[in-house]
Structure formats: C-alpha cells, structure tokens
Chains A and B, each alone.
Chain A
Amino acid sequence: MIVAEGKPVEKILEMLAPYKKVLIAGCRGCVTVCLTGGEKEVGILASQIRMARSKDGNPIEILEQTEERQCDAEYNAKFLENVGKVDAIVSLACGIGIQYLGEKYPLTPIYPGVNTLMLGANIDVGRWEERCFACGDCVLDKTGGICPIARCSKSLLNGPCGGSQFGKCEVSAPVKEDIPCGWQLIYDRLSALGQLDKMSEIIPAKNWLRAKGPRTYVREDLTLDRS
C-alpha cells in the first residue's frame, strides 16, 4: 500500500490563503487504509481549517467529499459538481491521486494535503514500515524474500557495509528508533531457509534506469482502440 502522512497544517493554510471556498477531496484507497486521507481525516482537516480561518477573521467555506480512488478518472468525475463550486481543491490522496485529480480539473488549482512517504506494510494500528522501493527490477529471489533496496539504507546489493552493528543499521530512522540492518535480516532468513550459499552469489550492478521516471507501462495485449 502507498503510505502518506498529513502535511503540516500551516503549509496548507498558506496554500489556501487566497481562497474563500475550497473542496477537501478524500480518497477511499490507500490513504484511507493508512488513516491519512479518508472521510474521517477530511472532516478533521476541514474543521481545523475552518477554526483557524475564523480565528484570523477570514472565514472560509469548505466542502468535503471522499470518493473511491483518485488514481482513476471515472471516480474523479464524481467530484465535478463540487469542483464547480470552489476556488481551489486540497487533495488528501497520495501524490498520484493529487495529480490525477488535478488533471481532471485543470482550471481549478489543486494543493496537496499530504506528503506521500513510501510503499509500506501496516504492521499494526498506527505503524507502517517500508517494504518496496518500486525499483522495477526485483531481486527478492536472491535475497531470501527481503529487499536490500528498500531495507538497506544504502541499497547495497552484496552484503552489509561496516555500519551494521549487532543487527542494526548505523543510520537511525526519522522516528528515532533503530533500523534493523537489511542485510542482517537477509542473512538470518537465508540461514533459516538453509540457503546461505546465496550470500556468496554476486548480484551484478543494477540497471537503475528501470527505477528512474518518468516511467510508463503499456500492455499492448490489453490496450483499447478507442478511435
């Protein structure tokens, strides 16, 4: 799942300074699941902004709407009526949704209400951890199913660096906790699987072009001729 966090509200207030009527657009996809941009957070942000603007003597009217997925045009069409009523949109979808909703309504300015963080797993309520970098060239077969690109701070391909100490990475996470060394995890898993010989297999340098955008993915067998 795509994981995002709410943007600091002062930034959002700055973006909205010129406007009197805005739409906060939520998404029922990943950002609802990661508790950042669903109907509930739309309501909370709207309430906070209304109060902030009332306090500043500059009241704002806010419409709230949440639809299935902002990364699909068909769902974005449902915002049409409300977009017509406002000066600007704040989207709480991921970076994809924000841009894609903006493309649908190019004459209305759109602003991000979230920072899109990573592709991660929801470990338990309130905790997400990165698992995939979307590098476009998966090596999980060679590394015991643990990704060295996403889980090693240096994205090393052939074993840990000298910064691996007692199973932890020398880099500390933004949340001030120890990061497990990705290569220690790989070693432990391979060891449990009886595949430690894979550690000595050299993984050749990666084609990072596949990880660089702008990327497009086309399947000729599926594309429709709409002419």
Chain B
Amino acid sequence: MTKQITNIRIGIYLCDCDGKVSKKVDLNSVKVAIQSKAEFEYIRAVEVACTKAEREQIVAEIDKYSLNRLLVAGCSDPFIVRQFLQLADDKGINRYNVEFVDLSAAESVGAAVSAVDTALNRLHLRAEVGYEELAVIPDVLVIGAGSEAAAAAKAIAKNQPVVQIDNVGTRVIGLDGFPGAFTVILLENGQTVKKDFGAIVLALGAVPQYDKSKYGGVELGADVLSLSQFINAGKDYAGKKVGFALGKADEDSLLSFAAVLKAALDLKEKGASEVSIIYEDMKICADGLEQEYERARKKGVNFLKYTGEFQITRFASGIAFMYREPFLADPAKIVADYIVLAEDFVPAAGTLELAEIFDIRTGPGGFFQKDNVHSLPIRSNRAGIFFVGSCHGPIHGTDLYNEIEAVLAEVSAFAKGKVSVPSLQPKVEAEKCAVCLTCYRCCPHHAIEIVHGEEYNNMYFSAARMNPLACQRCGVCAAECPGKAIQLPLYSDQEILFEVQQPARIVAYACENSGFLASEFAKTLDPELQKDLQIVEVPCSGKIDIIYLLKALENGADGVMLCVCHKENCKFVWGNDRAEQRKVRAQQILNQVGLGERIDFVHVAANQGNQFNTAVKAMAEKIRQSGTNPGKVVK
C-alpha cells in the first residue's frame, strides 16, 4: 500500500514556453479548468518559467504557500527539468515529488487539462521517498593474483583499505550480506574465517591455453613454442630467425597481437636476425598499437598476411610456415629457427566456483558476465561486486586502466564509511507477507533477505526486506509476490493501475530501458499512430504484473502490449523473460473465457522507433480481427 501523505501541498506552474504552448492551447482556460476540479495549493500560469526572475518568484511562492510538491507543465526541455530539480533540492523539496508534464504536444484544452490532471493525481498518490543514512565498511576485497589484481588493489588502496587474496592459498568459500557489509567466508590455512568487506573486486585474469587442434595437431617442443612459453622463457635469440603466427587462436581480443608486437620489437633490439609475423587480420585498434606496428615495420619486422589454413613443416634448415598469400598464386614459405604460436585465453581457475558462490553470471567462454548490451563492463548482476581486467574476457592496455578508474569510482562511494541513499527499494507490508521466498528466489540481484522480529505483524513475525544498496529497483519482486505485499516506490500498483483506469484503445507497458525510449522516438516518426495508444512506463518489463495486463482490458482497452528489451539483454537479468511468461499466462486467461488474441509481446531496443510503430500497427490489426473487447466491464 502506498502511504497516503495527509499534508500534501502541491504548487502547479503552467509554463507557456515563450508562447509555444498558447499557439494551440489557451493556458488560462487550462488553469481555470484545473482550478475547478483538482486539489492543490497554488497555481500560476507563467510566460517563461526558466528565467532567473521566475525562479526567484517560485522560490518565494514555495515559502509563502509551504509547497512540498511541484507540478511543472510546459515544454519537456531537459533544461527546465534540471532547473526545477535543482530548485527542489535547494528548497528541501524531495526531488521525487516534482512532476513534469509536456504540453507541447497537446492539441486542445481538454487534452492539456487531462494530462495535468493525471500528473496531479500521480503526485497525490506518490509515497514520500525518504533518504537512508547507512553505515558501510570501506574495506575492499580484491580477488586475484596477477598484475591486473595488483594494479586494481594498488589504485583502490589510495582511498581505502584493501585486502588482496589469490583465491589459491586463501580461498573464498561463501558469501553473506549486502553491498557495504558483505561477509566473505574464507578458507585460510585450513581454517574457516569470516571477514567483512564493503565491496568485492574480482580480478582473476585470464590464462593462455595452447590448443593444438587449431594448428593441425602440432605439439609444442624445443623449436615450437606457445606465445606464453616464449614470453616467460625470455631466452636470447640473437642471430636467430623467429616466426610468429597470429589469427588461429585468440581471435576476439587484441592481447596476442599486442604481445607479439612487443616481443618482435624486443627481438629486433636484441639482435635477432629475422623476425616474421604471419597474420590473418591486423588487430591494432587500441591506443599505441598502431605506433608499435609502425615501429616494428621500421625495424624490419616482416608482416605477412595469410589466408585460409597454414602448415608447420620441418626442414633440415629449420622449421617453416607454409601458407597462402591472398594475392599470390603460389604457396609462400617462412623458414625460422623458432616458431611461436598464439594461444586462446580461458578463464582463470576458480572463475566458475566464485560465480556460483557469489551468484553472479558467467557468459561467453565461461568468463564472468553475460553478453548483454546493458551490462557496464565492470558491473556484475550484484551491486558491490565488480570485475576488473580479463576475468570478464581478455582486455588490453588502456582498457584495464579505464576499468580500474571506473571501479575506483564505485568502491570509493564506501570510503567514508557511510552513504546516503534514496529509499527507493520496494517496501514490504509485513501483514501480507507469507514469507514464501518467491521474491527472494526471483530477485536477479540477491537484494532480498528475510528478517525476523516482533514488529513484523504476521504469524511468522518475519518478512522479506529489500536491501537499499543491493536493490536495483527492477520491481520483479513486486510483480511476483503472491500476497501483493510488495510495492516499488514511484511504481506502486496503485499508481500504475491509476494510469489505466480509463485506458486508451491500446495500452503499451514499456520498459524504460528500451520500449519506452523506442515509443518516444516512434512518436516523432508517426504521430498519427499514437492517437489510440497509451504508454505506461515501467522500470523493467519484469515489473509488468499480470494484473496490469488484465486490468487494462477489464477497464476497456482492446489490446495490451509489453514492450521489452531484446532477449538476453534485460538490464535486470531475467525481467523480460518473466514478462514473457506472464504474457503467455495472461493470454491463456483471455482464451479460457473467449476474449481473443489481445496481448502482444514485443522485443524492441531504444533506437527502434520504426519497429515499435510496426508492432503498434500489428497490435491494431490483431484487435481489428478480434473486434472490440467484449470483456470490458462497465462500472
């Protein structure tokens, strides 16, 4: 249940945006209409709200009328949004209590009044968002033994305490708690010990692995070396011929190319007689690599492009690559004293075990992190657990330092030992909580715990609680709760169902990371199409409760759409999959009582305005075939 605030004092500013709005809609008529029907404290029509003079007057009015919520209707310029949020912050008005309405698209006084009225109701329904001061542990655990882990630990240590473990001698065997207060269970000299950390950085690195099947079964030996063997051996090759082969392994990263360039330059400096590199595709698209390549050419390193397969053959004079040059008819040959073969990179030992212990996802090649456009490189599906370096796929050079900088920015939030966060995580009404664990199990972020105490007013004296630092506010838990005990602030059931009380012909529940953005774009492409369409924004499609789909139809919509992120690209792991499962059930519910096909599930990315419109047309066609919704309940 959304908490009803009894002393809501709303100020409404109708901004003409320097005459832009009043070209189509008379603002004074809007004002008069609002005054006659709505509840608020103060209303004023303004010519241009974003001037210094207006700002000062609004500040004075906030004081004079003790306003604590603001509604700004005018243009949708980000400037005015920023200005009013800043003004709210300055005046101690909670920024979640400022609502903006875009009047630039309104065609009539009626439409403008209805938009303002909807926003006003939203403000009335909105629960107060508080801020929580939380004590956090500044200490950071860095896991990994290689140079990447050392670099990360060194950088973080400038701000806050760091413990680095190699996960071999001291091993992680368990994890409890939440960001800011993780308890890591370690196996240290055969003893189980618990240590507390605010954040965890995984920097296990990647390890090279020679795969002979990529080189026609060639075994490594005295004159055939893997790239890592060659680098680690550090032998003297003065007067020798060395040939490197790239392109058969480690096809997806720059690591081998960079290492070979460095080795080739080094060999030339130390007097190798001939250095050749055979490659399939040149990979030098990183800071400094192209310069290295130019330098290597100047020093006389041979760069030889091959196509297709190459053979490694032994001659009396040495060992040779037999290969095919793309533009020459005859096969080519490079004879050397040593040949060096690139290797693949695989996740370091312990990657999979840690993924299981931490409940974080692994993706391509078994490295940490799923392949997902919404995943920032350093973020895991759990807040407070970060990746640095090749443990989430081989990375090279400056990328590592960028990642360390990014992780530094994240973990340093805990450096002072306390943080202040808006209390926007879902709230649980203990009386309705059956402690069934559904939310706990469905949370993609491990953000839920079950807490116990006399204050939890149910037969279990227990309830689920969402941790404010771990929660990423997708709302999956709220949509899954069988007891309707969970409400996500700003997106409570009451607020969302209010939007569809008198729905448009088509209601589209749209994820704010994809579908909603696509719908904004779609509007500009085909404004006519939007007439019968109502967009209801949700933080993730995983928040689209099955009852939202049914209520929109019960209240008179003819069709409902779920506009969600692409498959496997949900920002919140499986929100879009849960939405799809709910769509299937909701359509079954309609079929059982003969209401026809009325629900569409659409994967759409933020930039796919055209695809969005195509989907709207398909929905319109579908409901044209199914006819007007006979299930509409007349109240």
Contacts and interface: CB of A to CB of B under 8 A. Distances in A.
Interface of A: 8-10, 13, 28-29, 32-33, 35-36, 38-41, 43-44, 47-52, 54-55, 59, 66, 68-69, 122, 124-125
Contact of B592 (A10, A29, A122): A10
24 contacts: A9-B589, A9-B593, A10-B593, A33-B482, A35-B436, A38-B434, A39-B432, A40-B482, A40-B545, A43-B547, A44-B546, A47-B550, A48-B593, A50-B631, A50-B633, A51-B554, A51-B593, A51-B595, A52-B594, A54-B630, A54-B634, A55-B594, A59-B633, A59-B634
B483 interface: yes
A138 B546 CA distance: 41
Interface in B182-220: none
A66 B634 CA distance: 25
B333 interface: no
B438 interface: yes
A47 B593 contact: no
Contacts of A69: 459
A174 B458 CA distance: 36
B442 interface: yes
A125 B434 contact: no
A130 B63 CA distance: 64
B547 A28 contact: no
Contacts of A47: 547, 550-551, 554
Given A9-B592, A47-B551, 16 more contacts: A9-B593, A13-B593, A33-B434, A38-B434, A38-B482, A40-B546, A43-B547, A44-B589, A47-B547, A50-B631, A51-B631, A52-B631, A54-B633, A55-B631, A66-B483, A125-B438
Contacts of A29: 434
Contacts of A10: 592-593
A50 B484 contact: no
Given A8-B592, A9-B592, A39-B432, A28 B441 contact: no
Contacts of B434: 28-29, 32-33, 38
A151 B432 CA distance: 33
A38 B482 CA distance: 5
B501 to A, nearest CB: 14
| 9 A-B pairs with least C-beta separation | A51-B631, A52-B593, A38-B482, A33-B436, A55-B630, A47-B550, A39-B484, A32-B434, A35-B482
B550 A28 contact: no
Interface in B597-635: 630-634
B508 interface: no
B481 interface: yes
Contacts of A124: 441
Given A28-B434, A47-B554, A125 B631 contact: no
B482 A48 contact: no
B553 interface: yes
Contacts of A68: 458-459
Contacts of A50: 554, 631, 633
Nearest to B493: A43
Contacts of B590: 51
Contacts of A35: 436, 438, 482
Contact of B482 (A32, A54, A59): A32
A51 B553 contact: yes
A40 B481 contact: yes
Nearest to B586: A44
Contacts, number: 95
A33 B547 CA distance: 18
Nearest to B547: A43
B483 A39 contact: yes
A36 B585 CA distance: 13
B547 to A, nearest CB: 5
A50 B550 CA distance: 10
Contacts of B551: 47
Nearest to B435: A33
A44 B547 contact: yes
B486 to A, nearest CB: 10
Given A9-B592, A29-B434, A33-B434, A39 B546 contact: no
A124 B438 CA distance: 9
A36 B432 CA distance: 15
A150 B1 CA distance: 41
A38 B547 contact: no
A210 B434 CA distance: 32
Contacts of B553: 51
B483 A32 contact: yes
A35 B585 CA distance: 14
A38 B550 CA distance: 17
Contacts of A28: 432, 434, 458, 483
B483 A44 contact: no
Given A29-B434, A33-B434, A51-B595, A40 B630 contact: no
A39 B592 contact: no
B436 A48 contact: no
Contact of B550 (A51, A54, A122): A51
A48 B633 contact: no
Contacts of B436: 32-33, 35, 122
A39 B482 contact: yes
Interface string B509-552: 00000000000000000000000000000000000011100110
A68 B630 CA distance: 35
B493 to A, nearest CB: 9
Of listed A10, A28, A35, A122, residue having the most chain B CB within 10 A: A28
Contacts of B554: 47, 50-51
A127 B546 CA distance: 19
Nearest to B550: A47
A107 B633 CA distance: 29
Given A28-B434, A29-B434, A54-B633, A44 B593 contact: no
A51 B591 CA distance: 12
A38 B434 CA distance: 9
A40 B480 CA distance: 9
A187 B608 CA distance: 58
Contacts of B458: 28, 68
B589 A125 contact: no
Nearest to A9: B592
Interface string B463-499: 0000000000000000011111100000000000000
Interface in B417-454: 432, 434, 436-438, 441-442
A125 B442 contact: yes
A13 B437 CA distance: 32
Given A55-B595, A55-B631, A59-B633, A125 B441 contact: yes
A47 to B, nearest CB: 4
Contacts of B483: 28, 32, 38-40, 66
B559 to A, nearest CB: 14
Nearest to A68: B459
A68 B483 CA distance: 11
Contacts of A125: 438, 441-442, 480
B381 to A, nearest CB: 17
Given A50-B554, A55-B595, A43 B484 contact: yes
A125 B479 CA distance: 14
A27 to B, nearest CB: 9
B438 A54 contact: no
A66 B551 CA distance: 19
A54 B590 CA distance: 13
A28 B481 CA distance: 12
A32 B630 CA distance: 31
A36 B482 CA distance: 8
A48 B550 contact: yes
A59 B481 CA distance: 29
B601 to A, nearest CB: 18
